[in-house]
């Protein structure tokens, strides 16, 4: 195992998938940072999309075993990806934001029952967006403030999914980051099992929504307020 400053991906598609994930993070925060952890033949990329108050995790297959643990600029890493070569130069480390020091545990995950199927989750998200827009439109001009819209958003997106404690905003983040979308043949990432379902797991104080394309993790205690406004 080597200490990598240049990462070689298993194939060009892995590089493209990572680039798409980083681009979505930057869409929400141009100064976004990501923590990279590589061990063996896989790279885990952790990011915190602004306003969602969740951790997004994208796993990428590597061409060879690497050892790496560093926090870098998401924008610089995106620019360093060479899709044709299937590689990326690791940017210089940055001072990590507070969330980068509090990651979900690596082990101890147990599947949690009660999560609706994918179609029902997408339906719940569509209904939530419709409700937000309807309630926003009913606000009088003097009440259409950021604080009031955040209050409505918190009310809607803090609701839980099915018979679980997972907040709806975790599924919203998964959809916004491209983790929750229909399977279309070759579009399934090489790093994911073709038939892997959407599932919910728990470990310690964390919940993790796993999809074919990535995971969203939230802490079960002290989840905080939601400030996202659906587009």
Same domain, 169 and 84: no
Count of residues making up the chain: 231
Domain of 146?
Answer: 110-219
Same domain, 200 and 115: yes
Select from 96, 124, 145 the last residue of a domain. Answer: 96
Write the pLDDT tens digit of every residue in 171-190: 999 999 999 976 554 344 44
Number of domains in the chain: 2
CB within 8 A of 190, min separation 6: which ones?
Answer: 10, 11, 13, 14, 61
Same domain, 215 and 114: yes
Select from 96, 125, 144 the last residue of a domain. Answer: 96
**pLDDT tens string for the chain (231 positions)?**
445 589 999 999 999 999 999 999 999 999 999 999 998 899 999 999 988 889 999 999 999 999 999 999 999 999 999 999 999 999 999 998 999 999 999 999 999 999 999 999 999 999 999 999 999 999 998 888 999 999 999 999 999 999 999 999 999 999 999 999 765 543 444 444 444 589 999 999 999 999 999 999 999 854 433 333 333
Residue 102 falls within a domain, yes or no?
Answer: no
Residue 101 falls within a domain, yes or no?
Answer: no
Q: What is the pTM of this model?
A: 0.85
Same domain, 123 and 215: yes
Nearest to 172 by CA among 145, 221, 211: 211
């Amino acid at each position: 195992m080597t200490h990598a400053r240049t990462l070689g991906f298993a194939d060009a598609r892995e590089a493209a998938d990572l680039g798409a994930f980083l681009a979505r993070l930057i869409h929400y925060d141009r100064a976004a940072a990501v923590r990279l952890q590589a061990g063996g033949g896989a790279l885990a990329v952790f990011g915190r999309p602004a306003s969602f108050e969740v951790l997004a995790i994208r796993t990428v297959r590597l061409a060879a075993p690497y050892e790496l643990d560093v926090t870098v600029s998401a924008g610089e890493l995106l620019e360093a990806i060479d899709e044709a070569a299937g590689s990326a130069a690791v940017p210089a480390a940055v001072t990590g934001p507070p969330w980068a020091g509090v990651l979900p545990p690596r082990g101890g995950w147990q599947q949690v029952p009660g999560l609706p199927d994918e179609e029902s989750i997408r339906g719940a998200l569509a209904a939530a967006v419709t409700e937000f827009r309807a309630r926003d439109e009913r606000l009088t001009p003097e009440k259409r403030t950021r604080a009031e819209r955040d209050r409505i958003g918190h009310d809607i997106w803090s609701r839980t999914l099915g018979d679980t404690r997972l907040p709806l905003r975790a599924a919203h983040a998964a959809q916004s980051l491209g983790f929750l979308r229909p399977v279309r043949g070759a579009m399934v990432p090489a790093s994911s099992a073709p038939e892997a379902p959407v599932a919910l797991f728990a470990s310690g104080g964390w919940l993790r929504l796993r999809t074919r394309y990535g995971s969203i993790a939230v802490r079960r205690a002290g989840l905080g307020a939601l400030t996202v406004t659906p587009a």
